[in-house]
């Protein structure tokens, strides 16, 4: 920080008059006021504009974006700026992203239930629609209690095809989301691979029966491996 900027900050932060600070530091008040009244330089104007843009992006994310995502949003808007500069701006403005609350794992495997093979193998790409889907369930805390959400996502477009919500965490919720996805795609979804974890909702007989009636082929990752269903985990993390 320059001497003049330090003098200015003492009044703003501690109420020390400019004249007192100038006398203590051995500089003339006229020199300080000349510096204080000068127009901002192009670099200062750009920094002020950048700080404002950073705050807009941060607040638009409801305080969830850190410097990498803020940087990406700014670049998409036409800014030429690096992540370190954005991080410095956020630190100066005391903009700290809220830490992600760890999502409680709802996977409860039924050791006696039928398990489908892993037909995805962590390859979450698809050459066309209705080739590979993935799904999962999550818990969403609300002011009225727990809400459970089941979702179905097409791995080709990453579009959310089906979802269902309930205060009950069961196989019927998973079936409802699957049937909605099938309806969105016109009802004819035979041959689609539907990949999930080995939660009891997806290994249940009622869910397997729903898949058979629609011609959907079940696929399951390993128990306790979030990476085996990373696409669904990523969607819920963003949500």
Which pLDDT band holds residue 102 (cuts at 50, 70, 90)? Answer: low
Angstrom CA distances, 33 to 3, 4, 5, 122, 145, stand at: 12, 9, 11, 64, 59
Share of the chain above pLDDT 70, in %: 92
What is the pLDDT, as a whole number, of residue 107?
53
Over residues 165-179, the mean pLDDT reads 92
Is residue 105 scored above 60 in pLDDT? no
Q: Where are the domains of the chain?
A: 3-92, 132-238
Cα–Cα–Cα angle for 9, 13, 17, rounded to 5 degrees: 70
Cα–Cα–Cα angle for 121, 125, 131, rounded to 5 degrees: 90
What is the pLDDT, as a whole number, of residue 114?
65
What is the pLDDT, as a whole number, of residue 153?
93
Calculate the average pLDDT of the chain.
86
Is residue 103 scored above 60 in pLDDT? no
Is residue 57 scored above 90 in pLDDT? yes
Of 35, 42, 1, the residue nearest 18 (C-alpha): 35
Question: Backbone phi, then psi, for 119, in 5-degree steps?
Answer: -95, 0
What is the rounded CA–CA span in Å between residue 164 and residue 11? 57
The string of pLDDT tens digits covering residues 107-159 is 555 555 568 888 988 888 899 999 999 999 998 888 888 899 999 999 998 99
- In the CATH hierarchy, which fold is given to the domain comprising 132-238? Nucleotidyltransferase; domain 5 (3.30.420)
Here the tokens at position 68 are 């990498």
What is the pLDDT, as a whole number, of residue 84?
94
Cα–Cα–Cα angle for 115, 120, 122, rounded to 5 degrees: 115
What is the rounded CA–CA span in Å between residue 225 and residue 62? 30
Neighbours of 52 (CB within 10 A): 11
- Tell me the three state secondary structure of residue 123: coil
What is the rounded CA–CA span in Å between residue 211 and residue 192? 10
Which pLDDT band holds residue 6 (cuts at 50, 70, 90)? Answer: confident
What is the rounded CA–CA span in Å between residue 149 and residue 159? 16
């Amino acid at each position: 920080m320059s001497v003049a900027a330090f003098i200015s900050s003492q009044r703003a932060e501690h109420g020390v008059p400019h004249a007192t600070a100038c006398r203590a530091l051995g500089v003339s008040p006229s020199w300080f006021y000349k510096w204080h009244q000068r127009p901002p330089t192009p670099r200062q104007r750009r920094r002020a504009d950048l700080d404002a843009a950073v705050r807009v992006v941060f607040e638009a994310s409801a305080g969830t974006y850190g410097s990498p995502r803020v940087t990406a949003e700014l670049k998409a808007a036409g800014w030429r700026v690096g992540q370190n500069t954005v991080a410095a701006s956020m630190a100066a403005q005391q903009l700290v992203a809220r830490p992600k609350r760890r999502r409680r794992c709802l996977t409860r495997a039924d050791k006696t239930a039928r398990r489908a093979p892993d037909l995805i193998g962590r390859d979450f790409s698809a050459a066309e629609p209705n080739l590979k889907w993935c799904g999962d369930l999550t818990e969403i805390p609300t002011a009225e209690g727990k809400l459970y959400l089941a979702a179905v996502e097409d791995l080709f477009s990453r579009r959310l095809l089906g979802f269902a919500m309930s205060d009950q965490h069961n196989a019927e919720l998973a079936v409802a989301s699957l049937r909605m996805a099938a309806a969105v795609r016109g009802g004819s979804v035979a041959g689609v691979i539907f990949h999930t974890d080995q939660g009891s909702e997806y290994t249940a007989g009622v869910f397997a029966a729903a898949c058979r009636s629609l011609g959907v082929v079940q696929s399951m990752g390993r128990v306790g491996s979030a990476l085996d269903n990373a696409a669904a985990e990523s969607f819920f993390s963003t949500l």
